[in-house]
Structure 1
């Protein structure tokens, strides 16, 4: 099974009307679909551009915007669902803060299949900004999605920096890991990028990284956005030596597309130059031996 994957370098735009958002979403999905994409991955917190439709006083208030955003969320999700069905693509929509029944807010990304089926993944481990300043909480557990584009797992931004989360998804059968991100500094971007590449090597799996890009200085939550969309693979037979199948060269908004052979990637776990996926189990045995402090001696 081969799939054409599209990773978005997605700007946070300011809208006057909800129809402006609809027009933008329609352009983006049509562009990727017209170029043959089967799977479209949008970034973390791309949904925050909807806050531009709120009153000015609310836009500038981190706390107030969480509540005010909620009446827009279902209509926005309906737009992404309609577009996925119209263009017959699997689509990870831009995430946004989502209020739960208990009043907590989570960072939720919705996955939509060509026939309109829906599932969501909430971010698992929160950054200092989300915890300390914004009041966005961790969601409940990881999910594996069976889609026409393969079995997919989602690690939202900071989640990609924790190896055991990726391991759990691949052990559960994930063919691809999707990493939507939103980072405001080059350091943040590189943390996610290098973590995504490390997860690709450790688990012998492909990773799709989709970031926000550009400035939205009107927004206190997503004012500066730094990143390059990319698709990473193991550094092994049939793939680039550096594991970079494609990556954006600058911050220009748009898609990075590549064709992925999922059976070939799975085969690496049995026939690759190295055996990272299976050798993961050797770590506890080695660690059980402890760490011995050694005094260097002269021969």
Structure 2
């Protein structure tokens, strides 16, 4: 595909899965009407995010309902996607060593089914009370090119995005349920410390790897958390080329992804010019 139209979604998705599945056809159809090839929905699209980051609970009404990747919820989104590549977040129900566990998972689908998944590796604050951490970053092929996925806090760590780019990813899909600061609240989201960091990480991860980054996020309020929105498209120079700010909507941009990356890397190629022999081991302190 020579050019790709990418869209990051800022929208509110709560606990009511049936309501979400009734809402998604409108969101996906709006994107289709605008010619979108890659649509990135927020983290926790299916079932919503946690109510509280400090002391989350796995009680039925407090934690998102976990669903199987082979279940009707994922199949419903795939059917809606048809020829579009769609990324979205779920609380994944899985069985590990005979025990049922829950992961915070990003899923990428087309009408043909699941193309790739990513289980959130970095769990901030109390997330580890609810989710098990994933253990890898892997890119995969899609109709829009080779793609890698991150889930909100993952993008705080440069190694996450770099691992995906070293695995061939040309587009990073960053799915978030990223709230405003819970410790240093601002009257205006635009002035919030977390709003600044959210944009900073998006631009840094795109620029240092010279790839496109599509960032989605939840909006509105869920429990004690107020989400930032700020869906965006970032180009290989780290420039934000489309953004929703705090309100819901689609951030859309079209680009010849491979050509843009080649142009960005023509003189300064951050991947090929790494000096691995000079880097200290990052697996220990």
TM-score, normalised on structure 1? 0.78
Partner of 1:203: 209
- Deviation of 1:118 after TM superposition, in Å, equals 3.8
- 1:6 and 1:62 map into 2 onto residues whose CA distance is 33
Residue 7 of structure 1 corresponds to 8
State how 1:16-55 maps to structure 2 within 5 Å. Answer: 18=18, 20-49=19-48
Larger Rg: 1
1:149 and 1:107 mapped to 2: Cα distance?
A: 24
Tell me which residue corresponds to 1:214.
Answer: 220
| Number of residue equivalences | 262
Does residue 70 of the first structure (1) align with residue 60 of the second (2)? no
Q: Describe the SS at the equivalent of 2:29.
A: helix
Tell me, which stretches of 5 or more residues in structure 1 are unaligned?
A: 53-60, 236-241, 289-299
Give the alignment of 1:230-269 within 5 angstroms.
Answer: 230-235=232-237, 243-249=239-245, 251-268=246-263
Aligned to 1:165: 160
- Could you give the per-residue CA deviations for residues 93-151 of structure 1, whole angstroms, max 9, x where no partner exists? 233353433322211111102423443111111111212xx321211312212010110
Paired with 1:121 and 1:165, the residues of 2 have a C-alpha distance of 12
For residues 50 and 181 of structure 1, the distance between their equivalents in structure 2, rounded to whole angstroms, comes to: 10
Q: What's the counterpart of residue 105 of structure 2?
A: 108
1:286 is displaced (CA, Å) by 7.1
More strand by share: 2
How do 1:85-100 residues align onto structure 2 when only pairs under 5 Å count?
A: 85=82, 88-100=83-95
Structure 1 pair 7–285 and aligned structure 2 pair: CA distance change class (3 A): same
Whether contact under 8 Å (2:236, 2:264) holds in the other structure is no
Which residue of 1 is the match for residue 193 of structure 2? 187
Match in the other structure for 2:139: 144
Does 1:275 find its partner at 2:276? no
1:129 aligns with 2:126: yes
| Cα displacement (A) at 1:68 | 7.5
1:122 to 1:287, Cα distance in 2 relative to 1, 3 A: closer
Aligned to 2:230: 228
Cα deviations by residue, 1:196-250 (Å, 9 ceiling, x for unpaired): 2111111111111001011234xx6xx4211300011122xxxxxx61111113x
Is the CA contact 2:64–2:91 (under 8 Å) kept in the aligned structure 1? no
